[in-house]
Amino acid sequence: MGVEAPKTYVGKALVRGRAAGQVEFSDTALSFWGGVDSFSGEVIDRHHPLSGRNLSGKILAIPGGRGSCTGSSVIMELIVNGNAPAGIVVSRQEEILSLGVIVAEEVFGRSIPVVQISERDFEALADCSQASIDGDLVLVGASSGPSAAPARLKRPHVGSLRLTERDRAILDGKMGKAAQVAMKVTARMADIQDAEELIDVSQVHVDGCIYTGPTSLEFAKRMLGWGAAVIVPTSLNSISVDQMRWREQGVAAELAGPALELGEAYASMGAKKTFTCAPYQLDTAPKLGDQVVWAESNAVVYANSVLGARTTKYPDYLDLCIALTGRAPLTGAHVAENRKATIVVEVSGFAAHDDMVYPLLGYHVGKLVGDAIPVLRGLENWQPTLDDLKAFGAGFATTSGSPMFHIVGVTPEAQSLEDVLAGTVLSRHDVRPADLAAEWASLNAEAEIIGLVALGNPHFSFDEIGKLASLCRGTKKHPDVHVLVTCNRDTFLRASEAGLIRELREFGVQFITDTCWCMLGEPVIPQTAETIITNSAKFAHYGPGLTGRKLRIGTLADCVDAARGQVIGRVPPAWGPSPSQ
């Protein structure tokens, strides 16, 4: 291979610093949560082109992040434990990873550079083996040196950000150190987002209570020690263990202890112990037009798309920072014109559909649109339920970085196509049964003997528990198949009062609250369960990397059939041909 000609690409430093190293390039966005091991830096997303690669010390070049808001926690963990990329180059505005780096700087004094360059320049990095970053510059070839100076910390830039007297008082430390750090982080993110002002928000859903390693706990402990206290109603996402049942589930104390301590730390700041990845199921769910701050990718998409509330896709830790100040950057989906669709997706050719269509359709559409907001046509007569929209949104949030979608005649802002179209339509796509059949095939392992049925990603609703009970009624599961359902505490209590929990336990279902499938491992997942079936595209995607198991995806009825019979064939969906046909 010849010597690379020296080139310099000028971009925008999202986090300023210097670094050099071998380039790991992919034109596919990457979710660090569920996609990168927070202790080693290995890419564990088995559907990603970089699967198996170790990012430690490399210059990672990706279009940007996608999927979970917890990616910020993973990158912060890697920075502090010394296994992070040396630097990151992206081709679009990147908030989740940048925020994790910013918090690592502000709280732990550790950093890596993150720089955004144009899409054209980014594509040129595909052929580069070595690169370096210096502030706004990306250098390749002979101009890229082998060593790097320590990153230069970037102080909050507030020159173009209009702040109230109270905002400035917080930034000056007059309301305590925790609030000061929170406002610094918020101001830096506003700078990245080109926001000109901050707005008041009515509630916050915090995703940062997930335990990703010792740094996530240390962050909460430091903020609590600095006097952190939320000033707006704040709910908490799923934590990493079932707070009430972890002992009977066989979870080791050394694993449960830090996760429980982390949840309690956030509760001590004044957050409510909701512990759910589906806060839209709570009585406190926001209404149409409410300005809120939600983290957890599926929840953000649901809040914007189905409820019509307004939130951007908030990274972990920025959610807490805003809960401490009540102030958020006015940007993204908070702004009416930014909620318009620029991509039209036509869905056609389905003579019939079932509950598996929705997660697969969301998963496929997410791949088509990237960070853009789509509007779907063709579902006007399908009459999707709220749970169908939940499944669609979770699949969509897994493969897309977009904060929302519209469905004509279904979602509240899309009474007609014209209601939600932006001035310019960037692209149009047709989605037919064969497209979703191909996604089904890609997410389905060849194995037919099922050891575990995994339901509740995102958390099961009361209606879903009722549907499951009707499918299981009068029968029992196979003795060698485990059936686990995750849901929030309120839903579990309501289902218990309705007699559904007792009925499902007679079938053999075990219920888990407080946590969800993205955090569960052995022994909750039995060692003997080599293949898992789920009705969630999100878990079917992340599951192989998170659990080391083979994954199958099917309808809820398929999952119950697998629970009863243990063996389930790999039969193509009834609504579409197999990819080979």
Residue 448, strand partner residues: none
Q: Where are the beta strands (DSSP E) in 264-326?
A: 293-294
Choice among 26, 31, 38, 68 that is catalytic: 68
In angstroms, rounded to a whole number, what is the distance separating the alpha carbons of residues 564 and 434?
A: 29
Any idea how long the chain is? 581
Do strands 293-294 and 204-206 pair parallel, antiparallel, or not at all (unpaired)? Answer: parallel
In angstroms, rounded to a whole number, what is the distance separating the alpha carbons of residues 88 and 74?
A: 14
The pair of three-digit structure tokens given for residue 541, joined into one six-digit string: 């995607």
State the distance between the two ends of the chain, measured CA to CA, in whole angstroms.
Answer: 42
Determine whether 552 is exposed, middle or buried from the number of CB atoms within 10 Å of its CB (0-12, 13-18, 19+).
buried
In angstroms, rounded to a whole number, what is the distance separating the alpha carbons of residues 408 and 411?
A: 7
Are 55 and 24 contacting, i.e. CB atoms less than 8 angstroms apart? yes
Phi-psi region of 431 (alpha: psi -120 to 50; beta: other; left: phi over 0): beta
Known active-site residue 68: yes
In angstroms, rounded to a whole number, what is the distance separating the alpha carbons of residues 55 and 445?
A: 27
Q: What is the CA radius of gyration of the chain?
A: 23
In angstroms, rounded to a whole number, what is the distance separating the alpha carbons of residues 350 and 576?
A: 8
Q: Where are the beta strands (DSSP E) in 47-172?
A: 59-61, 87-90, 114-116, 130-134, 137-140
Tally of CB atoms within 10 A around 382: 16
Distances (CA, A) of 132 to 23, 115, 144, 178, 186: 9, 11, 5, 34, 28
Query: What are the residue numbers of the active site?
Result: 68
